[in-house]
Amino acid sequence: MSPMDARDEAAYAARVRAWAGDLRTGSTRTWRDFLDAPVTDVQTADDGPLPGAAQLELVRRLAGGDGPIPRFAELADLVATTAGPGRGLVDAPLPWPSRRTVGTPAVEPDELPAEELLRASAGVLARLLTPEAAIPAPRRPAAWRPWRRGFTLLGAPTTVELVRGALLQRGLREGGSRTTWFVLGGPLEDLMAQRWSARVRAGAGLRWQRLWRTAATNDRLPPAIALPTIARYVSDQFDPARVHVVLAEEPGQALAAVAEVLGVPAGTLGPTADVLATDLLRRVNPVLGLAVGEEARRRVVDRVWPEIAGGEPVAPLGAPAAQLDWAVAAGERMADALRAGRYAVHGDPALVVPTRRSDVRRVPDPDAVLEHALRVVARAWQRYTQRSTERGVQP
Amino acid sequence: MPRRVFLHIGTPKSGTTYLQEKLARNRDVIAAQGLTYPVTRTGDHFEAALDLVDERWPGQRDAARGQWPALVGEVRRASGDVLVSHEILAAATPAQVRTAMAAFGDDEVHVVLTARDLGHQLPAEWQERLEHRGRRSFGKFVTTVSEARRTNPDLWFWRVQAIPDVLTRWGNGLPPERIHVITVPQPGEPQDVLWDRMASVVGVDPAAARVEVTDANPSLGIAETAVIRRLNRLLVGKGVPREVYVDLVREVIAHDTLAGRPDQIRAVLPESCWPFVEAVTAEWVDWIEGAGVDVVGDLADLQPRRPDYTDGTWVSPDHPPAELVADAALEALAAVIRDIAPTHRSPVRRLASRLIRG
């Protein structure tokens, strides 16, 4: 393979632009297949820097997604001109018969690691969500019904949020001097997943593995999900008879148990943000925060993210293999402490102890997250084009 | 090509005084390389930063009025790249950041943040508070910090130290490649490494800045800190003017005397704080990596080094050995007497003033 000269560079650039033009039409041809095909006239945009392998491959994957995407060519242009944030392969070029002597080695786009495409997706999503930041959050005045029974929920953050919403909808009152305290929990790994999701929605870019590593290194669960500590504290401060620990496999069961104690009908709950959405959001967060500021990021995540990032439920994550022993020990300690508490426990404390199953994913699967990211980009693009159409401007 | 304006916004206690001294003392050679470090009436950019962030700062806020526009004027007059540096800029609100950015609308603005590990920053900020008449114990300080909100924070510590929050405020709308996080090397590395990193960001030859800076802002040990804290408590409500406090307590006692004492015991976090410190650090590192900002140095520098608590050498910063505190207090007293002796009134004049007062 001979080194690239100036003429080669020009031919390479023309071919890359031609492939980009082909992909704009919704083609799913790989770079390899495109190079093998005869050269045809394709309309291309000749100005601007050459898009990188990750951007072009992301366009190709989007074209091969679940359904047709409106105004796909415009989305392709947006993706091709959006740099992927974070550290990774810098502007990876595409393979070419003559070789480059400097820079990042060439890479077949369809062989790029999912992480690279996820970086590109995070940049695209931040760009698509940026206009959403201009929309103010709706104000929902809370109804004040002092005669209703009071409740206070602590523990598993997602469950707390869902159950709280359901109880408020039924007209119950939060807090108050005679409040009933509920400490909501479930399997330890689910508690950690909920803690992870809460931190990520609050703006963190935290990885699942790092959350566990920190907890295990310090031999301490995050205080927000240390159920026995929370339950003991409220029991000591208030009347233990008004403290209930509710252990449930999923939020709907927790709501049923809480509703039974409060003497109200339970009802059903909406879906929760899953592992894939959380792992995607932690990648989008820093980029979106830098683009629109923290307050606006939070508004967008509260208002738009649940709508565009909801997906098919996936199996929950287990503790990473390196921390599994610690997780089991921590779960057993938690179960023992809950059994010894002076408060009521609804559900079996053994539920919190992780199992050593082999059929569980212990870290998020980047390929699955990428597949989800493609769906989320498509949905975000639909919102983006709708908003642009409403405002009468080109996206 | 637009010229570049570098805004070095913090964080406090991350070698900023050293860098600012280095820049000030080598102003001419740096200017010859195309980077202006603007001169102000006080020499540094503190007043301008205080004017922008509009923070209550005893006796200084009013004096600082108009200094941010004055600094902006200096920046506009300069040709080539410019560096503005003060660590309290980190505290700016989003609205204040917009004001700052609007002043440099035609320029290519870069935000620079020097960042140090949280295990170091907590004791360092506590000591800094004490040198501003603070009275809180270390235990109470750490509890307050660990219980406070880190996003959209109210507490000063997080307003200037929460790296993602500071960068989100200052980096709003900037491309990530124009946001530079310079990590401060762990103890043991030469101090020049920090300067080299800063120089690489602002585009000057680090070797050209030959005028060295000796320890620009030395820290105190726990016995020495205890002296300052107790003094602060004794001086509450005694009407000691700010100028006197700064001259005698901060300069004569803290900087000139106690900071130079040998064999000081450094303030180290209690073991119980480490889960919190490591969890926060983990979030910050993931955020920095995900944001794609320019990291100059090594993110491993931000990982706090947990000391060995089993060897019995750790001493609570709130309970230093009494004899060390007594020694430090006596040295402080001697230093104050030495300092005021040359200007103290003569016995004859003292007698005369007593007679006049009756």
Residue A238 pLDDT > 70: yes
Place of tokens 């909801």: A310
Bigger pLDDT: A99 vs B187 = B187
Which residue in A210, A214, A295 is closest to B152 by CB distance?
A: A295
> What's the full length of chain B, in residues?
358
Give me the long-range contacts of A193-196 (CB less than 8 A, separation at least 24). A193/A275, A193/A278, A193/A316, A193/A317, A194/A156, A194/A157, A194/A158, A194/A159, A194/A225, A195/A156, A195/A157, A195/A222, A195/A224, A195/A225, A196/A278
**What is the residue-wise DSSP string for A249-295?**
SSHHHHHHHHHHHHTS----------HHHHHHHHHHHHHHHHHH-HH
CB distance B65 to B51 below 8 Å: yes
Question: What angle is formed at CA B227 by the lines to CA B224 and CA B232, rounded to 5 degrees?
Answer: 130
CB < 8 Å to B169, chain A: 293-294
The model's confidence at residue A19, banded by pLDDT at 50, 70 and 90, is very high
Domain borders along chain A are 6-136+374-391, 150-274+314-364
- Could you tell me the two tokens for B236? 């509450």
Domains and CATH numbers, chain B: 4-217+271-302 (3.40.50.300), 220-265+321-358 (no CATH)
Across chain B, what does the average pLDDT equal? 91
Question: Above pLDDT 90, what percent of chain A?
Answer: 63
Residue A279 pLDDT > 90: yes
Residue B58 pLDDT > 90: no
Question: Above pLDDT 70, what percent of chain A?
Answer: 89
Q: pTM value?
A: 0.85
Residue A43 pLDDT > 60: no
* Segment B268-322, tens digit of pLDDT: 999 999 999 999 999 999 999 999 999 999 999 999 988 889 888 899 999 999 9
- Distance (Å, whole) CA B151 – CA B287: 13
Average pLDDT over residues A207-231: 94
Across chain A, what does the average pLDDT equal? 88
- Distance (Å, whole) CA A316 – CA B265: 48
The model's confidence at residue A57, banded by pLDDT at 50, 70 and 90, is very high
Residue B269, Cβ neighbours under 10 Å: how many?
Answer: 21
Question: What angle is formed at CA A360 by the lines to CA A356 and CA A362, rounded to 5 degrees?
Answer: 90
Q: Which pLDDT does position B215 carry in this prediction? A: 60
Residue A88 pLDDT > 70: no
Contact B292 A202 (CB under 8 A): no
- Distance (Å, whole) CA B191 – CA B195: 7
Cα A395 from chain centroid (whole Å): 25
Q: Does B283 touch chain A (CB under 8 A)?
A: yes
Contact A204 B94 (CB under 8 A): no
Q: Does B241 touch chain A (CB under 8 A)?
A: no
Residue B217 pLDDT > 80: no
- Could you tell me the two tokens for A276? 């894939």
- Distance (Å, whole) CA B140 – CA B137: 5
Contact B283 A297 (CB under 8 A): no
Average pLDDT over residues A324-340: 97
Name the helix (H) or strand (E) containing A392: none
Residue B349 pLDDT > 80: no
Q: Which pLDDT does position B118 carry in this prediction? A: 97
Q: Which pLDDT does position B216 carry in this prediction? A: 61
Listed in sequence order, the residues at least 6 apart from B344 whose beta carbon sits closer than 8 Å to its beta carbon are none
Q: What is residue A394's three-state secondary structure?
A: coil
Q: Which pLDDT does position B346 carry in this prediction? A: 66
- Distance (Å, whole) CA A213 – CA A219: 10
* Min distance B97 CA to chain A CA atoms (Å): 11
Q: What is residue B4's three-state secondary structure?
A: strand
Q: Which pLDDT does position A180 carry in this prediction? A: 95
Which of B97, B118, B287, B305 is the best residue to mutate to test the A interface, defined by the most A CB atoms within 10 Å of its own CB?
B287
Contact B151 A203 (CB under 8 A): yes
Which residue in B151, B164, B169 is closest to A286 by CB distance?
A: B164
- Distance (Å, whole) CA B133 – CA A152: 40
Which residue in B176, B275, B293 is closest to A218 by CB distance?
A: B275
CB < 8 Å to B292, chain A: 83-87, 119, 286-287
Identify residues of A whose CB sits under 8 angstroms from chain B CBs: 83-87, 119, 122, 199, 202-207, 210-211, 213-215, 217-218, 220, 222, 282-283, 285-287, 289-295, 297
Contact B283 A85 (CB under 8 A): no
* Segment B218-248, tens digit of pLDDT: 779 999 999 999 999 999 999 888 889 999 9
Place of tokens 């009071």: A150
Contact B286 A86 (CB under 8 A): no
Average pLDDT over residues A8-32: 91
**ipTM attached to this prediction:** 0.79
- Distance (Å, whole) CA B194 – CA B301: 11
Which of A55-59, A324-328, A354-358 is predicted least confidently? Answer: A354-358
